[in-house]
A = this chain, B = another copy of it.
Amino acid sequence: MGESMREIKIALIGAGSMGKNLTAAYQNIPRVFYPSTPIPRLRIVSDLVEERARKFAEQFEFERWTAHWEDAVADKQVDAVTIATPNHLHRDLVLAAANNGKHIFCEKPLAQNAGEGREMYEIVHKAGVKAMVGFVYTKNPLVLMARRMIEEGELGQIYHFRARFLQDWAMSPEVPFSWRFQRKTAGPGCVSDLGSHIIQMARFLVGEFDEVCALSSTFIHERPLPEVASPSEECPKEKVDIDDATGFLARFKSGAMGAFEVTRFAAGRKIAMGFEANGSKGSIDFDHERMNEINVYFTSDPEDRQGFRTILLGPAVPYAGLWFGIPGVGLGYDALVMIELYEFLEAIVNGREAKPDFYDGWKVCQVVDAIVAAARQKRWVKVDGF
């Protein structure tokens, strides 16, 4: 394959904060993964607010900008579309991109529901394009190591998987209304926004869900609109119709038990995406708030030498050596984004798998839908029914 073919022209849809993270990653990939890397070129950025698109293009040196995503998706030069819009726009974007033969990287959650997810999975499958979903936390090198440990049987049979994604940013009633508080734009809600991360983490590490039961709450039922004509008027409010928090139990197809919680109302927990797996031969414990370390326990250690050992991120772990040659130096969240987009580009150029793909994205939607149904109907719900 010639050198020129290693260049991938990127369209970005959505010039918000996640768009910024993704763009930064594209810019850094050629340097970090040098020399064995495809070269992303920032071809076009699209945002519904044209001024935002223009400024973003200027800042990050995209060749073009547009307020019409249809233009971006149809741009002949574009090889791959990167979707970082509110959730409800994913479907139309994906369909258009696939129909144009573009490879697709779409932020999580893939779809508003499992039906949409399946449709999106099928269209990209039929189109034969690479299609990946941005479950970024699964790309932490220490999580990749955890996966490998489980796959190779180091933990034995997995009995338990517990995970949580705890935040506190929505606790104040003064936090203004946004698209994240509305089913129409956000899909199921916190259960999907945060839940999709830990559901995919569970699938990645333990396998498919069989059935779930769940409990959801909305603690604050309306929120002030962000823009007010006059500060002297009483602030108009908008109804919140999604959950602020959801807990769910699960049985995995393997028989393992799952216990999960997502919330935006855990004071002091900022981005506490954590999990623990307990197997017949050992355990793994991880929390993104300490993303450069993982705790591992082996029952095979001598009885008086057993303990959770804290392994620091370092060059012995997948990818981490690309940054620094010694352990403990510390990567940031941005490195995880680089790893996922690098794998996306590699999949395009070298035909490797782009995982997690839209199948994963769809299956996560199924679990979310099952959870939502379980919470509403107050019963156990089979995941495969969605």
Contact = CB atoms under 8 A, between A and B. Distances in A.
Interface of A: 17, 23-24, 27-28, 31-32, 34-35, 59-60, 145, 155, 159-160, 162, 164, 166-169, 171, 213-215, 217, 219, 245, 247-251, 255, 257-259, 261, 263, 265-272, 276, 278-283, 288-293, 295-297, 299, 301, 303-312, 314, 316-317, 323-335, 378-380
A31 B59 contact: yes
Contact of A281 (B267, B303, B309): B267
Contact of A159 (B217, B276, B332): B217
Contact of A297 (B249, B268, B282): B268
B272 A328 contact: yes
A258 B314 CA distance: 29
Given A28-B24, A323-B334, A145 B304 contact: yes
Contacts of A159: 217, 219, 245, 263, 265-266
Contacts of A334: 323, 331-332
A137 to B, nearest CB: 11
Q: Which 10 A-B pairs have the closest CB atoms?
A: A270-B328, A268-B297, A332-B332, A304-B316, A309-B309, A307-B309, A271-B328, A307-B311, A270-B327, A331-B332
Copies in the assembly, this chain: 4
Given A270-B328, A328-B270, A328-B271, A296 B303 contact: no
Given A263-B278, A293-B307, 16 more contacts: A27-B31, A31-B59, A159-B266, A162-B261, A167-B326, A168-B278, A247-B257, A267-B297, A268-B283, A268-B299, A270-B326, A272-B328, A289-B292, A296-B307, A323-B332, A332-B334
A378 B374 CA distance: 11
A311 B166 CA distance: 16
A305 B309 contact: yes
A305 B312 contact: no
A331 B334 CA distance: 8
Contacts of A59: 31, 34-35
Contact of A312 (B31, B32, B289, B331): B289
Contact of A257 (B245, B268, B316): B245
A110 B301 CA distance: 38
Contacts of A265: 159-160, 278
B311 A305 contact: yes
Nearest to A294: B307
Contacts of A290: 290, 292-293
Nearest to A166: B278
B326 A169 contact: yes
22 contacts: A17-B325, A159-B217, A160-B245, A171-B280, A214-B249, A247-B249, A267-B297, A268-B278, A268-B307, A270-B314, A290-B292, A293-B307, A303-B316, A304-B316, A305-B311, A306-B309, A307-B310, A309-B310, A310-B310, A323-B332, A329-B332, A332-B334
A282 B267 CA distance: 5
B217 A255 contact: yes
A305 B296 contact: yes
